Chain A
Amino acid sequence: MIAQLISVIGQTALILLFSPLITGFSRTLKARLQTRRGPDLWQPYRDLHKLLRKGMVIPDTASWIFPATPYVLFATTLLAGLLIPTIAAQAPLSLFGGVLAVVYLLALGRFFLALGGLDTGSSFGGLGSSREMTISAIAEPALMLAVFTVALGAGSTNLSTVAESAVGQSWRFLAPSQMLAFAALFIVLIAETGRIPVDNPATHLELTMIHEAMILEYSGPYLALIEWSASMKQMVLMTLLVNVFFPYGLSADGSPAGMLISVLLFVFKLLILAFAVVLVETGNAKLRLFRVPELLAVAFVLSALALISTFLFGGHGG
């Protein structure tokens, strides 16, 4: 019971406190690749601190959905974070749900965010919400199929079981089904976190925005919650990717030395993945909006192929 409590508190703290650092790392790295100096790693923390102290402007046309959205989004994202294994293979709340719960918790948050964008009646919010829903309608099935591929191999949709079953098989990721599923999830990660070539988080052009257009009317602490949720969601999806496919270092024993190695390896894996995403962002222009579904369709086909090849070649590789 005590151990359970510690792991819940520990993971909550990890996700809350570490997720802005990934955002900061991505931004700094991106700036360096663009020959800019850019803000330092800690800027997202300063932004959150600043926003949390500020006053808010709430549109007169907003209903209860508008103020409820940041809390729902924050809570669902954090909860999803507690369902995935980060440092230890056993996720704190793994008994309460598996990968389906993660996907649908994130979907619930997105649903409210889209409603929040529509709620104020501003044309940009509606624009963003409609685009977000178009994209997620394809991204979600691709995400589901890809994680099913992995779940099939482990015989369970519980992420802790999946991770534990993967720990012993170090070269499993070379199996065709795993590589296909990883590629699909990588595309989904870029789409879900609103990065180039799908969305541009740094643009000021309202007409081209997707995620940013939905939250244009938010300010102050509400905006802080939404920005924080976006960082957490990014970390959740990245963790899903690295720990399901590369579960090295998920400490099984729980000794202090083992924990330390786990933490370092976890951080290292996340930063490598963030670096890969930034490379994609830097080397590409944004896709035309109507091309985005094509990219996600690729992700969907990849996951479908992954699923099929699981049956053809087996999910455990060599």
Chain B
Amino acid sequence: MMDNRTTRLDEILMAGGPAFTLRLKSSAGEIYADVPAASAPAASAYLRSAGCRHAAVFAEDRVAEDLHYYIYYVFEHPDDTRYLVLRCGVEPGQASFPSLAAEVPALNWQEREIQDWFGLEALGHPNPRRVALHDNWPDVHPLRKDFPIDTVLPPFEGEQHVYRPTLGEGVFQIPVGPVHAGIIEPGHFSFAVAGEPILYLQLRMFYVHKGIEKRFEHLPVPRAVFLAESVSGDSSFSHGTAFCQAVESIGCVEVPEPARRMRTILLELERIYNHVADIGAIVNDVGFVIANAHASRLREEILRINEELTGSRLLRGVVCPGGVRRSWDRGQAGRVLAALDPFEREFNDLTDMIQASDSTRDRLERTGTLHAEQARDLGIIGVAGRASGQDHDVRRDHPYAAYDAVEIQPPVYQEGDVLRRMQVRIDEVRRSLQFIRLAESGLSSGPHRASMPQLPAGEFAIGSVEGWRGEILYWIRTAANNRIARCKVKDPSVNNWPALVEAVQGNIVPDFPVINKSFSLSYSGTDR
């Protein structure tokens, strides 16, 4: 790890002048600064010009304690391993904050979530319609503290969402969803087409909004881990780890070395089983079924390794604050390592088979292109971002678990088509296998879990993990009695759904499923 990667943000803040002087808190992972809400646009513009990226924006209701709502802007800089968080106070009587979405399209949905959940108006938002609570919801703001969690809302009778009409001769609307033919979650896609080419796609998510962020509040920390694991079922371990890292940061708990290595191994196993499944699903959607059959079989191999190591095929109930819930012995580790070699061989056979298929390549190349500029403006992260030239990887940018010991070189491509999104996954599976072997080889038989103290009330911290889709971010504030006052969950799917709208433009309708699959986003993680 480079030593100078913990000073860059300080330099930027110093050079930024008096706007950033109110330093709120500083820790190994984060810097907090207080900024008046009115100067947030200027501060954001300055930080962006200094090379910072908007990672997230979210709100918190502290009216009872501090007489304010707070808006938090999370930034990161490629040369600093810490996050920079700007906090803007909003008075309840004012109930509004300046919108940055016109300058930073990446914040579009997140600002509208704040509008819906907190009733704070994003002033100047180019498209201030509802997003997280559908139009037929009554006028309630569930994340305000004065909204009791056991509220039973009357049957929804509000207006339905009005899609933007697309007019023109020979232009038709194709509505798809929210209920789909496959076993997937609900989301509505409204295509405007002229013949087969797609002119415009409108997305509607949040059909399975479960109020998870509300549910976290008042939950005791040990139980909240299980809720984090169920935010997005295919990323259970990543979400759970991000949550635990935030909690550990608040409690100033040092996770023992063996536990950090075990977390690394399990995070990479989660990445592999999802990537392999997605590679198979992508080629399946262009009708290359036999490759999918092999990919499904290989995924099963990894699930069995998961079960061997943890007792859970999908890695549920494994991570806990302070480490991991159970350890594995040398015999288990040996069997797993022995299983990885044939897996890698067969995985190489699979990728050879896919790459040797001209008809598959013809379908995937230059399909669903997301240009690098679009990806940058929309704040696209993770697999989709790396396929479009966005070099972000939490494992390298904000090292956690045992990733500081390995050199992370994320595969980055510029073309941004379906083929490259698949190639990023193929490259990452190979690297993940190396990380697992590395982490396993240095695994010593120490404690796998540090004891957690009672957490101090009112403290807050970020936990972030590079899930297989991309950056998973948790921001937690504690309450008294080891409970949680606010838990912000940001799944990478929230960032990446809007990319689909850009990527499908100009493609033909029958190519949509494979484009969608190449992003492979979580509905549940988006809707929360």
Contacts and interface: CB of A to CB of B under 8 A. Distances in A.
18 contacts: A33-B290, A34-B293, A35-B297, A123-B172, A123-B175, A130-B195, A196-B289, A204-B181, A206-B176, A206-B181, A207-B509, A207-B513, A282-B289, A283-B357, A284-B287, A285-B286, A286-B287, A287-B359
A127 B513 CA distance: 15
A286 B363 contact: yes
Given A34-B289, A285-B283, A286-B286, A204 B182 contact: yes
Contact of A123 (B174, B290, B359, B510): B174
Contacts of B288: 284-286
A208 B182 CA distance: 13
A197 interface: yes
A289 B511 CA distance: 9
Contacts of B174: 123-124, 127, 207
Contact of B513 (A196, A208, A285, A288): A208
B196 interface: yes
Interface residues of B, number: 30
A286 B511 CA distance: 11
Contacts of A289: 196, 508, 510-511
B509 A282 contact: no
Nearest to B285: A205
A197 B510 contact: no
A123 B172 CA distance: 9
Interface centre among A205, A289, A291 (most CB of B within 10 A): A205
Nearest to A126: B172
A124 B176 CA distance: 9
Among all A-B residue pairs, the 9 with the closest Cβ atoms:
A286-B287, A285-B288, A34-B293, A285-B359, A285-B360, A208-B510, A205-B513, A204-B181, A285-B286
Contacts of B196: 289-290
A202 interface: yes
Nearest to A286: B287
B191 to A, nearest CB: 8
B294 interface: yes
B206 interface: no
Interface string B162-195: 0000000000111110000110000000000001
Given A206-B181, A285-B283, A127 B290 contact: no
A112 B436 CA distance: 59
A28 to B, nearest CB: 14
B365 to A, nearest CB: 11
A34 B283 CA distance: 13
B362 to A, nearest CB: 7
Contacts of B226: none
A282 B176 CA distance: 29
Contacts of A130: 195
Interface of B: 172-176, 181-182, 195-196, 283, 285-290, 293-294, 297, 357, 359-360, 362-363, 508-513
Contacts of B293: 34-36
Given A204-B181, A205-B182, A206-B176, A288 B297 contact: no
Contacts, number: 79
A202 B513 CA distance: 15
A285 B324 CA distance: 43
Contact of A197 (B176, B182, B287, B294): B287
A61 interface: no
A288 B182 CA distance: 21
Interface of A: 30, 33-36, 123-124, 127, 130, 196-197, 200, 202-208, 282-291
B524 to A, nearest CB: 20
A288 B508 contact: yes
A202 to B, nearest CB: 7
B174 to A, nearest CB: 5
Contact of B363 (A35, A206, A285): A285
A36 B295 CA distance: 12
Nearest to B507: A288
Contacts of A34: 289-290, 293
B509 A35 contact: no
A287 B511 CA distance: 10
Contacts of A35: 290, 293-294, 297
B327 to A, nearest CB: 36
Contacts of B513: 205, 207-208
Given A34-B289, A123-B175, A208-B285, 12 more contacts: A30-B289, A123-B174, A127-B174, A130-B195, A204-B182, A207-B174, A208-B510, A283-B357, A285-B283, A285-B359, A285-B362, A289-B508
A127 B195 CA distance: 9
Given A34-B293, A35-B294, A290-B196, A203 B172 contact: no
A169 B511 CA distance: 47
A104 B149 CA distance: 67
A250 to B, nearest CB: 36
A204 B289 CA distance: 13
A284 B289 CA distance: 9
Contacts of A33: 290
A290 B362 CA distance: 12
